[in-house]
Amino acid sequence: MTRKFDFLVIGSGMAGISFALKAAPYGKVALLCKTTLDESNTSFAQGGIAAVTYEPDNFEKHIEDTLIAGDGHCNLAAVEKVIREAPAQIQELLRWGVDFDKDENGLFDLHREGGHSEHRILHHRDNTGYEIQQSLIRQVRANPNIEVYENYFAIEILTQHHLGEVVTQHTPNIECYGAYVLNQQSNHIHTFLAKVTLLATGGIGSVYATTTNPAISTGDGIAMVHRARGVIQDMEFVQFHPTGLYQPGARPTYLITEAIRGYGAVLRCKDGREFMQKYDERGSLAPRDIVARAIDNEMKIRGHEFVYLDVTHKNAEETKEHFPNIYKKCLELGIDITKDMIPVSPIQHYLCGGIVVDLNGKTSINQLYAAGECSCTGLHGANRLASNSLLEAIVYADAAMKDAIKQIDTIQYNEFIPEWDDEGTKLPEEMVLITQSFREVEQIMNAYVGIVRSNLRLKRAMNRLEILYRETEDLFERSVVSREICELRNVISVAYLIIKHALRRKESRGLHYTIDYPKRMRNEP
């Protein structure tokens, strides 16, 4: 079955929904999500969204903090754009009904997180993402121009390749005509033709065995663009959040927001001693890459599996009021955070790299835009500043929409795209092969491509992955298409790109630390 839309939006987190809402006045929008409308990284966000709101904060300080965290690898134009456009996008969120916490004087209650020189994080208690996601969903449900497709899994973006042409990374004008999409209820593959397609498929946490990300985070958009020969960059910069709640076997790992350190919590070893000053004068509030590496080091030196985060010295009632969900979650596990220290360890959390986009959110493929965590704008450089991610998603979704609507009337649907060809793919796949290979990818990534890397570990990871790649491609050719096999292919592609880019970088910078090249080589702009 073929459907036609002016805008095809793949992903219903902050980036996808905000684009859909803004594009809807200009044409028909299809909004796809692989599970339900509310299952996204966005829903999980705790700390909040960074934006300059009141003096003494100003744009220059937020820009400076972002550049410092990014360790000399940020794109200055992207940084300037996101930070200067933040206040207008916050107003948009408020218009859509997002409720950010205020103090007793009616002013926004701003939190502070690692790497920020000022209090500038707008938040809704400690579940800001859920508040944003629900507010945006209410707007989507009320919008007649947006058709929501839940449980629709995008398999491939459509390009000239699907018209029989050979497409390589040197093909001068790769075009995107929409996507092949699996309806997971009927198991039919539909052709969604679109004038403009936005990839907003979020993170890649499922490539690792332990992550704060929900299971949907298999890097599908990045893998699709890689297969379509688009440009992907900076995949080596995988962010590990310093303070995932230590709870072996939990998936996803529950996050203990960085805002709690902004509020005064400190990191301690198991013996109760503070250690962060040894690593950085900003202590527990240093940027994430530094704190995560320091914890990793302390754990390795002592042979411990976690360190403690201590907020017991703060006023108990205030702690409960600011962090009600964390308080409740920990209490369920027998930890009263007002009296007990919280066991934490670093955990995969975010990807700074991804699908390269310009300042208009355009990818290297025509008619294809990307926004949010799947994209690489250059804002984060080698290490993302806390709470800059939701902000980037909404700013770039806005930029993509503004660029797309300028061209939408001049773009034609490509009516020559054939229906998905499933000839010869009749074997019902053996699920055990898929789940086992998935577990192997996660284990390889956790073991060899973590916070501290080396050439030996990366090469070992690549060798193991190559076997899984060959086996999976073979299985894919012969099997009935399912979400599971597609996700396996995607995590293998993403893992491959992370390792390849990590091997290429002959220095340590930001989130990429290797014992073979422990120094930063040159200062980038």
Task: Build a one-symbol-per-residue string for 324-363: x at contacts with ligand SIN by CB under 6 A, - elsewhere.
Answer: ----------------------------------------
Q: Examine residue 258 and tell whether it contacts ligand SIN (CB under 6 A).
A: yes
**Which of 49/276 has CB closer to ligand FAD?**
49
- Run of H or E including 267: strand 266-268
**Which of 89/514 has CB closer to ligand FAD?**
89
Q: Which of residues 49-68 bind ligand FAD (CB under 6 A)?
A: 49
Q: Which of 115, 203, 230, 361 binds ligand FAD (CB under 6 A)?
A: 203
292 touches which of ligand FAD, ligand SIN, none (CB within 5 to 8 A by kind)? none
- Strands (E) across 288-397 are located at 307-310, 342-351, 354-356, 368-370, 375-376
CA nearest 178: which of 162, 167, 189, 194?
194
Please give the C-alpha separations between residue 129 and each of 14, 89, 473, in angstroms, as whole numbers. Answer: 9, 15, 36
289 touches which of ligand FAD, ligand SIN, none (CB within 5 to 8 A by kind)? none
**Which of 46/135 has CB closer to ligand SIN?**
46
Q: Which of 11, 16, 47, 450 binds ligand SIN (CB under 6 A)?
A: 47
CA nearest 50: which of 114, 135, 99?
114
Q: Which of residues 381-440 bind ligand SIN (CB under 6 A)?
A: 386-387, 389
**Which of 371/492 has CB closer to ligand SIN?**
371
200 touches which of ligand FAD, ligand SIN, none (CB within 5 to 8 A by kind)? ligand FAD
CA distance 88 to 460: 47
Q: Which stretch binds ligand FAD (CB under 6 A): 38-46, 275-283, 301-309, 410-418?
A: 38-46
Cβ atoms within 10 Å, residue 232:
22
CA distance 49 to 247: 27
For the bound state, the minimum distance from the C-beta of residue 16 to ligand FAD, rounded and expressed in Å, comes to 5
Three-class secondary structure of residue 157 per DSSP: strand
154 touches which of ligand SIN, ligand FAD, none (CB within 5 to 8 A by kind)? ligand FAD
Q: Which of 5, 19, 100, 153 binds ligand FAD (CB under 6 A)?
A: 153
Burial zone of 334 (CB within 10 Å; 0-12 exposed, 13-18 middle, 19+ buried): exposed
Q: Which stretch binds ligand FAD (CB under 6 A): 10-18, 79-87, 398-406, 415-423?
A: 10-18
**Which of 20/394 has CB closer to ligand SIN?**
394
Q: Which of residues 218-277 bind ligand FAD (CB under 6 A)?
A: 220, 255
CA distance 24 to 451: 42
Q: Examine residue 11 and tell whether it contacts ligand FAD (CB under 6 A).
A: yes
276 touches which of ligand FAD, ligand SIN, none (CB within 5 to 8 A by kind)? none
- Run of H or E including 178: strand 178-183
Q: Which of residues 340-399 bind ligand FAD (CB under 6 A)?
A: 350, 372-373, 387-390, 393
23 touches which of ligand FAD, ligand SIN, none (CB within 5 to 8 A by kind)? none
Q: For residue 323, give every residue at least 6 positions away whose Cβ sits within 8 Å of its Cβ, in sequence order, or none.
A: 125, 126, 257, 259, 260, 263, 337
Q: How many H helices and E strands in the chain?
A: 14, 18
For the bound state, the minimum distance from the C-beta of residue 152 to ligand SIN, rounded and expressed in Å, comes to 28
Residue type, 364: S
Residue type, 132: I
What's the DSSP call for residue 104? T
**226, 365 contact by CB (below 8 A):** no
35 touches which of ligand SIN, ligand FAD, none (CB within 5 to 8 A by kind)? ligand FAD
Residue type, 91: Q
**136, 40 contact by CB (below 8 A):** no
The tokens of 191 are what? 């052709």
**Which of 382/393 has CB closer to ligand FAD?**
393
Q: Examine residue 109 and tell whether it contacts ligand SIN (CB under 6 A).
A: no
CA distance 98 to 128: 9
**Which of 39/514 has CB closer to ligand FAD?**
39
Q: Which of 32, 90, 146, 207 binds ligand FAD (CB under 6 A)?
A: 32
CA distance 370 to 491: 19
For the bound state, the minimum distance from the C-beta of residue 371 to ligand FAD, rounded and expressed in Å, comes to 7
Q: Examine residue 13 and tell whether it contacts ligand FAD (CB under 6 A).
A: yes
- CA dihedral for 83, 86, 87, 88, sign (positive or negative): positive
Phi-psi region of 356 (alpha: psi -120 to 50; beta: other; left: phi over 0): beta
As beta bridge partners, residue 364 has: none
- Residue 259's Cβ-side half-sphere holds a number of Cα atoms within 13 Å equal to 27
**322, 125 contact by CB (below 8 A):** yes
Helical segments of 427-507, H only? 431-448, 455-478, 483-504
Q: Examine residue 257 and tell whether it contacts ligand SIN (CB under 6 A).
A: yes
Size of the site for ligand SIN (CB under 6 A): 8
Catalytic residue annotation:
288
One DSSP character per residue, 217-228 reads -S-HHHHHHHHT
Q: Which stretch binds ligand FAD (CB under 6 A): 61-69, 70-78, 211-219, 293-301?
A: 211-219
CA angle (399, 237, 12) in 5-degree steps: 40
Task: Build a one-symbol-per-residue string for 275-314: x at contacts with ligand FAD by CB under 6 A, - elsewhere.
Answer: ----------------------------------------
> Which residues make up the interface to ligand FAD (CB under 6 A)?
10-16, 32-35, 39-42, 44-49, 128-129, 153-154, 200-203, 212-213, 216, 220, 255, 350, 372-373, 387-390, 393
> Which residues make up the interface to ligand SIN (CB under 6 A)?
46-47, 257-259, 386-387, 389
